Amino acid sequence: MNLIDTGNELPLMESFYTLQGEGFHKGLATFFIRIGGCDIGCHWCDVKESWDPKIHPSTNIDEIVNKAKSHSKVAVITGGEPLMWPMGPLTKKLQDSGISTHLETSGAYPLSGQWNWICLSPKKNKLPNREFYNFADELKIIVYNKSDFSFAKLESKKVKKECKLFLQPEWSVRKKISPFLVDFVLKNPEWRASLQTHKYLDIP
């Protein structure tokens, strides 16, 4: 068994210190860890270069954690789909270093790792495992067309009542879809609007 299979190395696409741009923790200084590998295949994905894990270097998690420690007390593990890989070793070392671990996932793979916050972003073409609806602290639905509002309502019925609900316009259609999103939230105030503020601020 190699180090990637055990989670002691991961196909690291990039890591960087910036502001969380989306969802519940928007505006929070955060260290992002983007793991390569995803087979969900969203046609509107803005990081398609993350899909193929083979093009991203196998990186020891000690290197990742040491870099995170020099920047922030919060780390977001995202992708790609990070749960394609065992997250236990990385999240334990981050938490042992006093770093809060936040996950961004489609939920399509089994949960691994130790998490302080889980953002579940379901995709129609590969729905989450049932366990995620109980674990999600935040449900974030990307809205590309009007049918996504119906999908959002269905998904919101599956999560725990404490889960925060967010709708986010897909960036390429934001001008077209935003008026519908605003109208939906006004009529369904249990939801909140999420914007990709990092793109408006022109930061990573």
Work out the average pLDDT over 10-39: 98
The pLDDT value recorded for residue 46 is: 87
Q: Which domain holds residue 54?
A: 3-201
The pLDDT value recorded for residue 150 is: 98
The predicted model scores a pTM of 0.96
Give percent of the chain with pLDDT exceeding 90: 97
Torsion of CA 13, 17, 18, 23, to 10 degrees: 70
The pLDDT value recorded for residue 92 is: 98
What is the band of 1 on the pLDDT scale with cuts at 50, 70, 90?
Answer: low
Give the model confidence (pLDDT) of 75-117 as tens digits: 999 999 999 999 999 999 999 999 999 999 999 999 999 999 9
CA distance 181 to 27: 21
Q: What's the CATH number where 197 sits? A: 3.20.20.70
Torsion-angle region of 28 (φ positive above 0: left; ψ -120 to 50: alpha; else: beta): beta
Give percent of the chain with pLDDT exceeding 70: 100
CA distance 83 to 39: 11
Q: What is the mean pLDDT of the chain?
A: 97
The single-letter code of the amino acid at 90 is L
Number of domains in the chain: 1
Give the model confidence (pLDDT) of 173-194 as tens digits: 999 999 999 999 999 999 999 9
Residue 152 has pLDDT above 90, yes or no: yes
Token look-up 């489609």 returns 106
